[in-house]
Amino acid sequence: GRSHKLAVIGGDGIGPEVTDAALTILDAAQDRFGFTTERTEVPLGADAYLETGDLLTPEAIEVLRSNDTILFGAIGSPRVTPGILERGIILALRAELRQAINLRPVRLYPGVPTPIAGLTPERCDLVVVRENSEGSYVGGGSTVHRGTPGAVATQGSTNTWYAVHRAVDFAFRLAEQRRGKVTLCHKTNVLVEAGALWLDVVEEVAARFPDVEHDYVHVDAMCMHLPVSPERFDVVVTDNLFGDIITDLGAVLQGGLGVAASGNLNIDGSAPSMFEPVHGSAPDIAGKGWANPAGAGLSLALCLASLGEGEAAAAVESATAEVLADLPELSGATMGASTAELGERIASAVTDGHGGVQSSL
Ligand code: NAD
Ligand code: IPM
Ligand code: MN
């Protein structure tokens, strides 16, 4: 039968909780669709760091590389200075494994409670293509006189034709398979150097896709348009930092941060892709069973689709959406079930073949 090598990084806080739920869902999908996975846990995060000082070791990278795909929970801890784990593990992983694209669907599923009044599923089905390798995430910087009134910090931003072109080209290809529209989101009115490069690349790529229309929206205006009129977007292509920010907003449209999924895609075949919920380790609710595993479940669906398990992917997406639609609230003590119980509920829905939601995968 079909078998896939799967590396699992639970990470910190609610990361392992939602990842365990996703693995319960995966068990059900395997049983129903007749494939197996060989799973390897890779212990990365605050515990390992505080114990050994290790972030992303060469050994861990080798293990990850030897797998077909990676499921990731979340990393980050109040016990560690901000940036150490995030840069040293998450961003290092995305870079080491050449995960050029961060694919972040923003889809409201039928019956799911959204805080945006009047929003309907028909009006909310877009995908953010977030450049995943540069921008201000690798711009470098310097600080002098820290802790004095003379402190000065610079924080740069790197923008190459190569990486921007890779993201924009991906976005146009994706739009060809969808509703045929690409929107560039940037801040070209202030960040004129990077902005001009992005605009140039979009015009260059657009010329090769006569059937895909394109437009432009500033990132501040995007924060207004997204909740008010998401229907104007099909594929949004954007810089690493803007993509990070607007997809937390996108998550809110979908019901909350616990619902949004993502794929860090390696598109050159040089290493595995990595799938993770958009949210972080949520130390404020960790250990309580209050985390919604839907984002992890929908990330599993993206993972299965990328492995060629299309039927399983659709079933997982559909089952997750169905279970979400029945919840009174989408997070916390009033969610009506614990993280683990929701994992089991979604798994049962996969087994029973429930869920009438048309898959977008
Ligand atoms: P966060 O996403 O962890 O949490 C923000 C808010 O959303 C919190 O109130 C949290 O309780 C809630 N929330 C998050 N996920 C939820 C879920 N599945 N169900 C219900 N509620 C959920 O963001 P933060 O608080 O800014 O960051 C916490 C830590 O996580 C930091 O160390 C940060 O660097 C890290 N982080 C990691 C990732 C990642 O691993 N990819 C992503 C974002 C943040
Ligand atoms: C995310 C997170 C990460 C990012 C951080 C934790 C490095 O916010 O995956 O959205 O900025 O990409
Ligand atoms: Mn983020």
Per the CB < 8 A criterion, the answer to whether 328 and 336 are in contact is yes
Encoded amino acid at 269, one letter = G
Question: Is residue 27 annotated as part of the catalytic site, yes or no?
Answer: no
* 220 catalytic residue (yes or no): yes
Q: Tell me: do 270 and 316 sit in the same domain.
A: yes
Q: Tell me whether residue 107 is in a domain.
A: no
Same domain (yes/no): 275, 148 = no
Which pTM value belongs to this model?
Answer: 0.97
Catalytic-residue membership of 234? no
Please indicate, yes or no, if residue 177 is contained in any of the structural domains.
Answer: yes
CB–CB of 258/295 below 8 Å?
yes
φ/ψ of 350, rounded to 5, equals -65, -45
State the Cα–Cα distance between residues 204 and 226, nearest whole angstrom.
26
Mean pLDDT across the stretch 125-137? Answer: 98
Domain boundary among 238, 254, 270: 254
Residue 109: inside a domain: no
* Total count of domains within the chain: 2
- Give catalytic status of residue 187 as yes or no: yes
**Where a domain ends, among 201, 228, 254?**
254
Q: Are residues 95 and 129 in the same domain?
A: no
Is residue 216 domain-shared with residue 137, that is, in the same domain? yes
Using the predicted structure, report yes or no on whether residue 356 has a pLDDT greater than 80.
no
Judgement on whether residues 238 and 280 belong to the same structural domain of the protein: no
Domain assignment present for residue 282? The answer is: yes
Nearest-angstrom CA–CA distance, 191 and 39: 44
Which of 287, 285, 341 shows the shortest CA–CA distance to 25? Answer: 341
Instruction: Say what the pLDDT of residue 64 is.
Output: 98
Neighbouring residues of the ion ligand 3, judged by CB less than 5 Å? 244
Q: CA distances (Å), 332 to each of 116, 166, 290, 338, in order?
A: 19, 39, 4, 9
Residue 238's nearest CA partner among 269, 287, 266, 202 is 202
Between the CA of 94 and the centroid of ligand 3 the distance, in Å, is: 14
Same-domain pairing of 143 and 230? yes
Task: Write out pLDDT tens, residues 276-317.
Answer: 999 999 999 999 999 999 999 999 999 999 999 999 999 999
Q: Is the pLDDT of residue 354 over 90?
A: no
**What's the distance, CA 262 to chain centroid?**
2
Question: Domain end: 206, 221, 254, which one?
Answer: 254
* pLDDT at residue 346 is higher than 70: yes
Regarding the beta carbon of 91 and ligand 2, being less than 6 Å apart is answered yes
pLDDT of the residue at 360? 63
Residues 43 and 132 in one domain: no
Q: Are 298 and 316 in a shared domain?
A: yes
- Give yes or no: residues 191 and 240 share one domain: yes
Mean pLDDT, rounded, for 20-30 = 98
Q: Please answer whether residues 47 and 36 qualify as being in contact, where contact means their C-beta atoms are separated by less than 8 angstroms.
A: no
Q: How many Å apart are CA 232 and CA 243, to the nearest integer?
A: 17
CB of 246 closer than 8 Å to CB of 128: yes
Same domain, 45 and 60: yes
Q: What pLDDT does 328 receive?
A: 87
219 lies in some domain: yes
- Domain assignment present for residue 343? The answer is yes
Task: Say how far apart CA 336 and CA 231 lie, in whole Å.
Answer: 31
> Is 120 found in the same domain as 228?
yes
Structural domain range at position 163: 114-254
Mutate which of 91, 103, 241, 262 for ligand 2? The one with the most ligand atoms within 8 Å of its CB, which is: 91
The CATH number given to whatever domain includes residue 242 is 3.40.718.10
Between CA 196 and CA 143 the distance in angstroms is 28
Residue 29 is assigned to a structural domain of this protein: yes
Domain membership of residue 249 (yes or no) is yes
What residue has token string 């989101």? 185
Q: pLDDT digit string (tens) for 30-71?
A: 999 999 999 999 999 999 999 999 999 999 999 999 999 999
For ligand 1, say whether the CB of 195 is within 6 Å of any of its atoms. no
| Token duo for residue 60 | 């861990």
Kindly state if the Cβ of 90 falls inside 6 Å of ligand 1: yes
Pocket test of ligand 1: the residue of 8, 278, 279 to mutate, having most ligand atoms within 8 Å of its CB, is: 279
Residue 93 and residue 37 share a domain: yes
Active-site option among 12, 49, 109, 137:
137
- How many helices (H) does the chain have, and how many strands (E)? 12, 12
